[in-house]
Amino acid sequence: MESRTARLTLLVDPRKKKIFEEICAAQDLTASQVIRKLMRQYILEHAGNRELPDWLRGPESGAS
């Protein structure tokens, strides 16, 4: 299972952040949930031959 102990700091345009957070809220999701999902998708698409843990590759990889 994922460990949610690491912090990632991003610098983004405040206008984009506001729109992003509004869209997330409209879908009853937090910005963190959406970013984690995007990261998983990116990893799966670009991992190449890298060995990935089962919890990342499995059917739950699309869940938040």
Structure tokens at 59: 């059917």
Residue 6, in any domain of the structure: no
Q: What is the pLDDT of residue 15?
A: 98
The DSSP output letter for 59 is: G
Q: What is the number of domains present in the chain?
A: 1
Position 5 scores a pLDDT of 76
Tell me which DSSP letter residue 58 carries: S
Residuewise pLDDT in 10s, the chain (64 residues) = 666 678 899 999 999 999 999 999 999 999 999 999 999 999 999 998 889 888 887 665 444 4
Domain with 29 in it = 14-59
Give the model's pLDDT for residue 13. Answer: 97
Per-residue pLDDT at 64: 45
Q: Could you tell me the pTM of the whole model?
A: 0.76
| 62: exposed, middle or buried (Cβ count in 10 Å: 0-12, 13-18, 19+) | exposed
